[in-house]
Amino acid sequence: MQTSAVIAKKLAESAVMVRRCFLLLHKKGLIEQRKGPNGGAKLTLTPKQIGVGDIYAASEGDWLVHHEPAIAGLMKRASADGVQAMNDTTLAQVLKRIRKNSPEAKAAGGAVLHSKATA
């Protein structure tokens, strides 16, 4: 389990922002959360089982919702097609690219070992 404070520090972001993201991911079933001194969050699936589109869909909100019936169906289909295309890339693939391009990996010629990803 990783706490929002630990993740926020790693990302140089606000713990409040991280907790808001956790809430969205939790609502879509992508992470589980535990409160208390040993609390935090972790992925409910492996990074190989989570698509980038799944993460996007958890956080996108209703910005593509259109109330004009002539356009609403088209916008809904465009959103679904976009999420499906994004799911061609998994969280594991994104993490591998990030690690490969990290300053530590570049300094070591790409030979840096990292622990398994958890939310």
Residues 42-88 have pLDDT tens digits of: 999 999 999 999 999 898 766 666 778 888 888 888 888 999 999 99
Alpha-carbon distance values, 107 to 11, 85, 102, 103, 110 (Å) = 20, 33, 9, 6, 7
Q: Which domains does the chain have, with CATH numbers?
A: 1-44 (1.10.10.10), 51-110 (no CATH)
Does the pLDDT at position 116 exceed 80? Answer: no
| Residue 107 pLDDT class (50, 70, 90 cuts) | confident
